[in-house]
Structure 1
Amino acid sequence: MSKGGRTFFGHPWGLATLFSTEMWERFSWYGLRAILATFMAASPAHKGLGMSQETAQAVVGVYGALIYLVALPGGWIADRILGARRSVFWGGFVIMLGHISMAIPVTTSFFVWLGLLLIISGTGLLKPNISVMVGRLYNEDEDGRRDAGFSLFYLGINLGAFFAPLVVGWLAAGDRWHLGFSAAAVGMALGLLQYVWGGRNLRGIGERPGIRLTPPERRRFGRLAGLGAAVTAAALGPWAATGMLTIDRLALAITIVILIVPVAYFTYILMGSHSLTGEERGRMKAYVWLFVAASIFWMIYDLAPSKLLFFAADHTQLSLFGLPIQAATTQSFNPLFIMIFVPVFAALWVKLGVRVSTPQKFGFALVMVGLSFVVMALAASLATGGRVSVWWLVLVYLIQVFGELSLSPVGLSVTTKLAPEAFKGQMLGIWFIAVSVGDAVGGQTGRLSHYLSDPAYYLVLAIMAIVAGLALFLFTRKLRVLMAEHYHAAAMPPIR
């Protein structure tokens, strides 16, 4: 709800509170992300976990996938139990505990896994609900400041994402991993302090659940949660007891479960006994293709904190403008380019209007991310004889950002436009499952390294993306007919 008095760049002052909270939360998330894979692959002599790079890539992929998957139950908990405001606080608190757990300087990996589990759980509570609170700062959907307010909010995300690898990477240098994890914990703590201190600017915003669970529903929820935990324990227990539950197998099992979710959901919508109109059914068929395209895009794009980070550490001359940098610093290139080019692409899409369709935007994004891995294949070929310039990675991230700014901003919009009327609320979560699928499968592509050289690995993924992108261009007319596309998908800033 909008309020009189002082404003934050012309917006409700509550936006300043949420801007800062999200900036610090993203600082903690991207800070951990910038060192997690290299920490896991570092030998015990270097205070790491001693995993192979392929296993570390699989873990980072599943970790990112679960972050997006748990946003679905996180939103439900806020709607039915806690309310958005308390969900954001407790989510941030659990995230902070997770980073503290990882910062404990002990040789056992128990606190690392505990920390990751806490961070996943906390992010599921915080991430979807803080965006909901931003929307509720404004009185009506047609409030002209809403889009500009979200743009400011996403600027906070990218500021946190830009500075985190610089700070955390520098602190973690020289095997000081736990200092890096501590910095992430401090970042989340600052976000929480600021959230509590600025709480007076959020009165009436997300204080109560939308539809609170009744006592019988609470009991039913408790029984279902207990049953789910029991089934999971029963499924994993025998593996663990016999020593067959390796990290690689667990990551693969989680990936398979994540893949089943959208397949089952789309089958349920298209094959179930729902009274879909012919137009709704056609739109859903078109959306399945866009969902697959988005999953392929994120599969490659989100290899940045694993495969590309390893390339930076092992095969790159870590010097920029004559100054030494850390491998983690390369993770700051992406948010920097996003901040630079968001206004450029926003103006471009407004200028082009409906002349560029949604399938064409998705196709362009896939071609761009594919070309970025053609560049990686060239860099990897040159790196066989030594280290290559870091400018290769600068070029890779620049090309990838061109792709992201073509796909990510219209994802939620096209989801709401194509969803059948009876499934609009649920379908918003499905868009984020595309990211989840991409991250999980991307982690598993590390297995290809056993059979392919690095240049061939990058080239295989590049060809996959480019072929998928060209297919979207080729079938654009057919997809537009299925979509009944007569609208311009609004280009909001990317949500990451």
Structure 2
Amino acid sequence: MIDVNKQKVVESVPQRGFFGHPKGLFTLFFTEFWERFSYYGMKAILTFYMYYELSQGGLGMEEGMALAIMSIYGSLVYMSGIIGGWLADRVFGASRAVFYGGILIMLGHIALAIPGSVPLFFVSMVLIVLGTGLLKPNVSSIVGELYSESDQRRDAGFSLFYMGINLGAFLSPLIVGTIGMDYNFHLGFGIAAVGMFFGLAIFVYTRKRNLGLAGTFVASPLSPAERKKVFRRIGLGVLLLAVIVAITIPLGWLTFESFIVIVGLLGILIPTSYFIVMYRSPRTTSVERSRLIAYIPLFIAAIMFWAIQEQGSTILANYADKRTQLDYAGIHISPAWFQSLNPLFIITLAPVFAWFWLKLGKRQPSIPKKFALGLLFAGLSFLVILLPAYFGGEDALVNPLWLVLSYFIVVLGELCLSPVGLSATTKLAPSAFSAQTMSLWFLSSAAAQAMNAQVVKFYSPATEMAYFGVIGGAAILLSILLFSFSSKIQGFMKGIR
């Protein structure tokens, strides 16, 4: 978006009205609050819905397959953000992308709310993946458009917005999880659909007076000739894909297992291609190439970290359901409630970490060392959860506080790595690829979950100690290597700290 348009957008937005911030932050805060409420509410019960027996209201899938599908689903959600960002930048703008995305997400949850078959389940997954890819990256970009580049409120505004995300993520497993697990899965999914409807309603009815022109400009619109060419290619691509699917499914070539392998390969090939294109581009300077080299070990570390953190909604969800003592201290705990721990700890600890880094000032660890700390905590979170099996055996139910401790430790790692990773990405990105490098950062989670889809099938109560031990140990080993080479990596950053 050119500077003139940026200024027009800022001038069109009422600059006071939400805790001293632009009025549009109210619209985006509650749009994202309800979108995250719907997403994490659905996610809190989805794994259980897949592998619970038909008599229990589930789909009756094999547990390993359900866990792999959940990982693939998470991977595709992050990959689809690339498509959503491109459509907003080149075709219809961020505001319409948010609106269309919200509709698709709501329809996906409605499809889940209808008692039906496995095909209907996959239709819902496609709708939610596409919808989240449209909404998630673009609602964040509109927040940035509310402020001028010199506005001192910008960072605080994003902090408020981030609070909305985590509040929605905290409340939804408690509400949707309780209703979905204790009463009916489809009723739980229906509540998630209602949540997305509330988010859409707030966005539609307040955007004109609160957002002004924010999200309405198309940053780099396609010319009529380009539009015709692009949509012809998209049409041909969709047709080719439909033909391939129509041929390979009857032949038995395209199965759940082969699809998981394909997505796993894409999770590695797409970010690898990004690195190669940016490094070889004539628009990338020698200093920027050096910084890209420094970014590679950070990206690999991020994949390892998210591979552990994202198992909170797969392996640890299964662990909560099958291995945890759910009647504790006179309370019956729903296994879905554990999904609220991550956002609860983030809301509680994020201000503490922000204060701590500020207090340390120039004495705070370098970016590679913070990544190493993040990996160390992630590895420890898995080593902690293997201790109950070591002391009590694989058949005994585990005290729920062990699971709480595991979630707590991995959040310590997340607060060392995630915000630092976002900041490092903006600093190390080649100027010609700044937006695409941010997409690359989110692909670290896509790659991690694509990798998880291959790994989760090895988990069972019998292999529990080996599973947590090998993955946790690998994270700690990578942490030590990253810490050892942190000075070397810092040198490639060419002055970035």
Residue aligned with 2:314, SS: helix
Match for residue 147 of structure 1 among 152, 155, 161: 155
* Kept in 1: contact 2:98–2:134 (CA 8 A): yes
Q: Which residue does the alignment assign to 1:135?
A: 144
Larger CA deviation: 454-463 vs 169-178: 169-178
- Kindly provide the CA deviation profile for residues 163-205 of structure 1, in whole angstroms up to 9, marking residues without a partner as x: 1100111111246110111011010001111111212211211
Cα 1:273/1:369, change in 2 over 3 Å? closer
User: How far apart in 2 are the matches of 1:353 and 1:239?
Assistant: 58
Please, what is the CA RMSD of the aligned residues?
Answer: 1.7
Question: What TM-score comes out, normalization by structure 1 length?
Answer: 0.94
1:288 aligns with 2:296: yes
Query: What residue identity is the alignment partner of 1:186?
Result: V
1:259 aligns with 2:287: no
Match for residue 191 of structure 2 among 179, 183, 194: 183
Residue aligned with 1:83, SS: helix
Please list, as runs of the form range in 1=range in 2, the aligned pairs for 1:337-376 lying within 5 A after superposition. 337-355=345-363, 356-376=365-385
Q: Which residue does the alignment assign to 2:307?
A: 299
Q: Which residue does the alignment assign to 1:410?
A: 420
Q: Which residue does the alignment assign to 1:318?
A: 326
User: How far apart in 1 are the matches of 2:283 and 2:107?
Assistant: 47
Query: What residue identity is the alignment partner of 1:445?
Result: V
Cα 1:277/1:311, change in 2 over 3 Å? same
Cα 1:437/1:4, change in 2 over 3 Å? closer
Offset of 1:227 from its aligned partner?
Answer: 2.7
Query: What residue identity is the alignment partner of 1:429?
Result: S
* Kept in 2: contact 1:74–1:124 (CA 8 A): yes
* Kept in 2: contact 1:58–1:248 (CA 8 A): no
Q: Which residue does the alignment assign to 1:334?
A: 342
Residue aligned with 2:59, SS: coil
Q: Which residue does the alignment assign to 2:440?
A: 430
User: How far apart in 1 are the matches of 2:15 and 2:407?
Assistant: 42
Gaps of 5+ in 2: 1-9
- Kindly provide the CA deviation profile for residues 79-114 of structure 1, in whole angstroms up to 9, marking residues without a partner as x: 1211111111111011000100111112x1121111
Residue aligned with 2:396, SS: coil
Offset of 1:145 from its aligned partner?
Answer: 0.5
User: How far apart in 2 are the matches of 1:450 and 1:232?
Assistant: 35
Cα 1:161/1:181, change in 2 over 3 Å? same
Residue aligned with 1:50, SS: coil
Give aligned-pair identity as a percent: 44
Match for residue 57 of structure 2 among 22, 44, 47: 47
User: How far apart in 1 are the matches of 2:393 and 2:415?
Assistant: 29
Gaps of 5+ in 1: 488-496
User: How far apart in 2 are the matches of 1:198 and 1:250?
Assistant: 41
User: How far apart in 2 are the matches of 1:320 and 1:144?
Assistant: 47
Q: Which residue does the alignment assign to 2:470?
A: 460
Larger CA deviation: 112-121 vs 48-57: 48-57
Query: What residue identity is the alignment partner of 2:428?
Result: L
Question: What TM-score comes out, normalization by structure 2 length?
Answer: 0.94
User: How far apart in 2 are the matches of 1:423 and 1:78?
Assistant: 17
1:388 aligns with 2:419: no
Cα 1:463/1:235, change in 2 over 3 Å? farther
Q: Which residue does the alignment assign to 2:4?
A: none
User: How far apart in 1 are the matches of 2:312 and 2:397?
Assistant: 18
Cα 1:82/1:384, change in 2 over 3 Å? same
Match for residue 74 of structure 2 among 51, 55, 64: 64
* Kept in 1: contact 2:81–2:134 (CA 8 A): yes
Offset of 1:451 from its aligned partner?
Answer: 11
- Kindly provide the CA deviation profile for residues 262-312 of structure 1, in whole angstroms up to 9, marking residues without a partner as x: 122222333x36364432222111111111100010011100111000000
Residue aligned with 1:173, SS: helix
Larger CA deviation: 30-39 vs 193-202: 193-202
Q: Which residue does the alignment assign to 1:491?
A: none
Match for residue 101 of structure 2 among 83, 87, 91: 91
1:123 aligns with 2:140: no
Q: Which residue does the alignment assign to 1:477?
A: 487
Residue aligned with 2:411, SS: helix
User: How far apart in 1 are the matches of 2:260 and 2:186?
Assistant: 24
- Kindly provide the CA deviation profile for residues 26-79 of structure 1, in whole angstroms up to 9, marking residues without a partner as x: 001101110111111112222222222211111111111111111111011111
The count of aligned residue pairs is 484
1:16 aligns with 2:26: yes
User: How far apart in 1 are the matches of 2:169 and 2:268?
Assistant: 28
User: How far apart in 1 are the matches of 2:112 and 2:271?
Assistant: 32
Match for residue 255 of structure 2 among 242, 246, 254: 246
* Kept in 1: contact 2:394–2:462 (CA 8 A): no
* Kept in 2: contact 1:57–1:444 (CA 8 A): no
Offset of 1:257 from its aligned partner?
Answer: 1.6
Cα 1:159/1:233, change in 2 over 3 Å? same
1:446 aligns with 2:456: yes
User: How far apart in 2 are the matches of 1:434 and 1:345?
Assistant: 23
User: How far apart in 1 are the matches of 2:80 and 2:111?
Assistant: 20
Offset of 1:5 from its aligned partner?
Answer: 7.4
Q: Which residue does the alignment assign to 1:493?
A: none
Q: Which residue does the alignment assign to 2:236?
A: 227
Offset of 1:403 from its aligned partner?
Answer: 0.3
